[in-house]
Homo-oligomer: A and B are copies of this chain.
Amino acid sequence: PLIAILAGDGIGPEVTAEARRVLDTLGLDLGYEEGLVGGAAYKAVGHPLPPETLDLARRADAVLFGAVGDPDCDALERQFRPEQAILGLRKELGLFANLRPAKLFAGLEDASALRPEIAREIDMVIIRELTGDVYFGAKGFRTTADGLREGHDEMRYDEREIARIARVGFETARTRKGKLLSVDKANVLETSQLWRDVVIEVSADYPDVALSHMYVDNAAMQMVRNPGQFDVIVTGNLFGDILSDEASMCAGSIGMLPSAALDGTGRGMYEPIHGSAPDIAGQGKANPCAAILSAAMMLRHSLDLPDAADRIEAAVAEAILGGARTPDLGGTLSTRAMGDAVLAHLG
């Protein structure tokens, strides 16, 4: 299998290098090809998502993504900014299903702003729709009848888009506790009303899964009050963006959390949820665990190597339990040394 390595900006290259070291150790038959993305690509060839990179991502069986974001690019027009590379890859590759696990790793109870007894219970997966919603609806500027500038973005979902992400939710619920929570704002939004209707329709195919619903404002509250109540959550692109970041922070260490963006046929893009952290880039201070765990998700979801994925995940958990800590976790290990600690537990 061919893995596209898009390491990107800031700490992206450092953490991706550790993920690759871990993969190499497993003796799998993987080929790698590197591509430019984000601010690094803009600086090299004038675009955050060059055609060669998109082509590589299409050819590859999976994309291992680092991070994008570069303060040098902040003043650029939107289309040239690093984040556009992420949005472009999602859309062009049809990566509609974003899996964002949030859990507290044993040993990191003190890393969360939540009380330890509350934080300890966090173990959920947020399934966020990734190629629709107000992100990709008709948008722009126009002038009102009164001659005023107006900005507009259309939120929209059709029943097919909702049904396919709902199915990912129900399937995921089956592999966990058999509970699915759908989050919407159906008391205000028609898009949410259709969302809720279709999720309920799809639930007929999953009689073994208990479906419930919650408004997004209440979900944002409950995520703080009692995040342990959540197991599998399915929601739209915008609400998923907000709630999954909130959930990650409740779990304490965003340096530990991976994500997957899947197209429904097994192809996917895997990326740590943390950003490019330009302030610590190139200093060997970044925590590579999120990137390493992203590689594990890749093995599970795109390469059908669940045992290898399990091994990596266990090694990370053991390294943490054994006290390995990068600075974000209050320790002093370098990026490389944390990679070593994980490798040591891979046996």
Contacts and interface: CB of A to CB of B under 8 A. Distances in A.
A230 to B, nearest CB: 14
A158 B134 contact: no
A281 interface: no
9 closest A-B pairs by beta carbon, nearest first, are A151-B194, A151-B191, A221-B249, A150-B158, A220-B246, A152-B156, A217-B245, A148-B158, A224-B249
B156 A150 contact: yes
A189 interface: yes
Contacts of A144: 158
Interface string A205-217: 0000000000011
Interface stretch (A5-13, A32-40, A135-143): A135-143
Nearest to A192: B151
Contacts of A154: 152-155
A226 interface: yes
28 contacts: A78-B187, A81-B187, A83-B187, A114-B224, A134-B134, A134-B189, A141-B194, A144-B158, A146-B160, A149-B194, A149-B198, A150-B194, A151-B190, A151-B195, A152-B154, A153-B156, A153-B189, A154-B154, A155-B155, A216-B242, A218-B245, A220-B242, A220-B243, A220-B245, A220-B246, A221-B246, A223-B246, A224-B246
A155 B114 CA distance: 33
A98 interface: no
Given A149-B159, A152-B190, A216-B242, 19 more contacts: A83-B187, A134-B155, A139-B191, A141-B190, A141-B194, A148-B160, A150-B156, A151-B158, A151-B194, A152-B191, A155-B155, A218-B245, A220-B245, A221-B246, A221-B254, A224-B246, A224-B249, A225-B249, A246-B246
A160 B198 CA distance: 37
A191 B242 contact: no
Interface of A: 78, 81, 83, 87, 113-115, 118, 134-135, 137, 139-141, 144, 146, 148-160, 185, 187-195, 198, 216-218, 220-226, 238-239, 241-243, 245-246, 248-250, 254
A191 B153 contact: yes
Contacts of A146: 158, 160
Given A113-B114, A141-B190, A221-B245, A159 B153 contact: no
A159 B152 contact: no
Nearest to A186: B78
A115 B114 CA distance: 6
Kindly name the residue among A135, A140, A151, A217 whose own CB sees the greatest number of chain B CB atoms within 10 A. A151
